[in-house]
Amino acid sequence: GEAQWPLLLSFQAPASSQDTATLMNLYDAEVAYTDEQIGVLIAGIRARTHRPTFLVVVADHGEEFNDHGGIQHGRTLFDELLRVPLIIVGPGITPGSVVDSPVSLVSLWPTLAQLVGVAPPPKADGRGLLDLVRGNFPARAPDLFADLEPRFPGDGQVHRRAVVDGTWKLLVGADRSLSLYDLTTDPHEQFAVGATGVSREKFLQAILKVHDTVARL
């Protein structure tokens, strides 16, 4: 009921599963509206120009609906927040092709530059994805990083950092705690790997350290 909607400000999932379902339905409606408006945009482009045009559709983050005990976004770095769609349409791109390799949004800026044939921005720290879009896969997928800036006291922030190396993901808590997940056997990140993953955990910590060092240069 209405009395529970203030929970939206606390990031805590409603006690009622019906209320959670209502939130999900509202979100689905928002996605449907966005999809409709993209159609309006495409129709407008086709009506106004015959020039080659690239269309890129992407989201900045996902939403949690009690996947890990909360709702909304901005508190955790679980995959329901990090995995977002990236759709690229235009000349030279095979319609309907799907790339399963995960990439980072930092690659979006240099990719746009590649698509229109200009030099990548000097401050762009991601790699362009044009080769990947055209089916040329690298021998090894790049490590992916995510970061949550401290927000405000009492916001209940759970995570601070994340690094993904292949199928392994390390989460660094706001309290500096570490949680390691094997995304192959546990794609929904429900069971942190215990003592058997200590060596992998240290390896991912080293990757984070190298990343931070390069970022400061």
Please give the single-letter amino acid code of residue 84: V
Q: Band of the pLDDT at 137, cuts 50, 70, 90?
A: confident
Radius of gyration, CA atoms only, the chain? 20
Closest-CA residue to 105 (of 136, 137, 142):
142
Mean pLDDT computed over 130-158: 82
State yes or no: pLDDT of 47 exceeds 90: yes
- Across the chain, mean pLDDT equals 88
Vertex 185 angle, CA 184 and 186, to 5° = 95
Q: Which residues of 16-40 are buried (b: 16+ CB within 10 A; e: fewer)?
A: eeebeeebeeeeeeeeeeeeeeeee
The pLDDT of residue 5 is 54
| Nearest CA-CA partner of 27 in 67, 75, 87, 77 | 67
Cβ-based burial of 50 (10 A; exposed 0-12, middle 13-18, buried ≥19): exposed
Residue 215 above 80 pLDDT? no
pLDDT tens track for 146-178: 999 877 776 788 999 999 998 999 999 999 999
Q: What is the pLDDT of residues 68-126, one digit of tens each?
A: 999 999 899 999 999 999 999 998 888 888 888 889 999 999 999 999 999 887 877 78
> What is the per-residue pLDDT for 8?
60
Burial class (CB within 10 angstroms; exposed 0-12, middle 13-18, buried 19+) of 204: buried
Say how far apart CA 90 and CA 76 lie, in whole Å: 34
Q: Tell whether the model's pLDDT for residue 127 goes beyond 80.
A: yes
